[in-house]
Amino acid sequence: MSPPEIIQPQGQHTASLIFLHGLGDTGKGWSDTLGSLRLKNIKIICPTAPIKPVTLNAGMQMPSWFDIRGLSPDSPEDEEGIKQATAKLQALIAEEEKLGIPTERIAIGGFSQGGAVALYTAYTTNKRLGALLAFSTWMPLHKRFTSQGVKYNVEMPVLQCHGTEDPVVPLRWGQMTSQLVSSFFTKHTFKTYPMMHSSHPQELEDAKSFLTETVLKQ
């Protein structure tokens, strides 16, 4: 991967947020968006996915965390690609640890495809993470969680946000993910906003408050 976009904290570095973009995007857009929240003590890391062919887009090459093969909850999934993306996110978490930031003060998150990687990572890594932001996304490999349950990060606060008019990742996907996640965890909040497959000013304000009350409060 190319070097991530980084927004350094305005004050003492006490927490970190690693946020993954959606299909075909780069880290730049989300670094600008999240940097506008002006969270004084948090470092924001927005990596860019490697260029890969995407089956859903007729094999076109674009930044992608893993292959997407269909737009149905029952579509086949790129398990190997999802695990490879998870390993990349885990490596970024480890880099923040080396800088002296405890994992309990590291939040991860993402939009759409990036949010799927963040969800999968949070519930399959044995490191205790501080918080999770899941924007307009879904739980990948969801059948595995239904059958096997979850061992890690069961007390981690989760803020899941979704647009009521999303034509790409339908609200129903978000609702199904919310039902699954909340069946394992009590610190899960699901919010909807009048938007399509994008971000919303109130969503960003809610994310700012969420981070302030989780990784920045500890």
Q: So which residues are the catalytic ones?
A: 112, 166, 197
Q: Of 161, 211, 156, 210, which is closest to residue 184 (Cα–Cα)?
A: 156
* DSSP state letter for 77: B
DSSP H helical segments within 130-169, as ranges? 142-148
Q: Of 46, 47, 86, which is closest to residue 66 (Cα–Cα)?
A: 86
* Residues 187, 123: Cα–Cα separation, whole Å: 14
Look at the chain and count its residues.
218
Q: Give the 3-state secondary structure of residue 92.
A: helix
